[in-house]
Amino acid sequence: MDVNVEGMDGIEVTRVIKRQYPETKVLALSMYLRSSFVSEMFKSGASGYLLKENAFVEVVQAIKTILTGQRHACAKVASLLVDEYIPVDGRAPAQTPLTERETEATRMLASGKSAKEMALITHTSVKTIDARRCRIMRKLGINSVAELVIYAIRERLIDVDGQRRT
């Protein structure tokens, strides 16, 4: 599965495949070495992640590995994952900055939903939505909704058309 198939979102397609056919093994092939892509593919149910530059050499071994029930990542992806969870400088690993509710609120805000619309969707009050927005922006060090939109696109929470990605 390609992470970014033209007209489709490989992460979401993987999620649907795993929901409908949980025994299916998915191997991600991508030209992208970004932690957000890698982590979202694994979270969506992929069993492996190869960069396209390694695919020809590693694809057979990757398939054999995932068919045994293990996960597979090419060397660059494995290094990226290790660096993300075990920093070289000894500091505590970075945590996902937003909770699931905050992530969903970020998606809605970046997609142009008003606080009133969000309150109706989430069955909360406008005050709760406003407090959540302030908390999100403080956590991310963001000072405007425009910066929040850029963050949401960069982190693949929405696409450039403002549609939900994952």
* pLDDT per position as a tens digit, 47-73: 999 999 888 889 999 999 999 999 999
**Domain closes at, from 85, 109, 131:** 85
Strand order in the sheet with 72-73: 27-30, 48-51, 72-73
Point out which residues pair with 50 in neighbouring strands. 29
- Same domain assignment for residues 39 and 72: yes
Task: Supply the CATH number for residue 72's domain.
Answer: 3.40.50.2300
pLDDT of residue 160: 62
Whether residue 60 sits in one domain with residue 28: yes
DSSP letter string, 93-136 = PPPPSS-HHHHHHHHHHHTT--HHHHHHHHT--HHHHHHHHHHH
pLDDT category of residue 166 using cuts at 50, 70 and 90: very low
Over residues 131-143, the mean pLDDT reads 86
Q: What is the CATH number of the domain that holds 144?
A: 1.10.10.10
Query: Whole-model pTM?
Result: 0.56
Of 38, 119, 32, the closest CA to residue 71 belongs to 38
Provide the CA 155 distance to its chain's centre, in angstroms.
7
Nearest of 151, 152, 159 to residue 5 by alpha carbon: 159
**Which residue from 138, 144, 141, 162 is spatially nearest to 152, judged by alpha carbons?**
162
| Confidence (pLDDT) at 91 | 55
Contact present, 45 and 18 (Cβ < 8 Å): yes
Domain, as residue range, for 64: 10-85
Share of the chain above pLDDT 90, in %: 34
Asked whether the predicted pLDDT for residue 93 surpasses 70, the reply is no
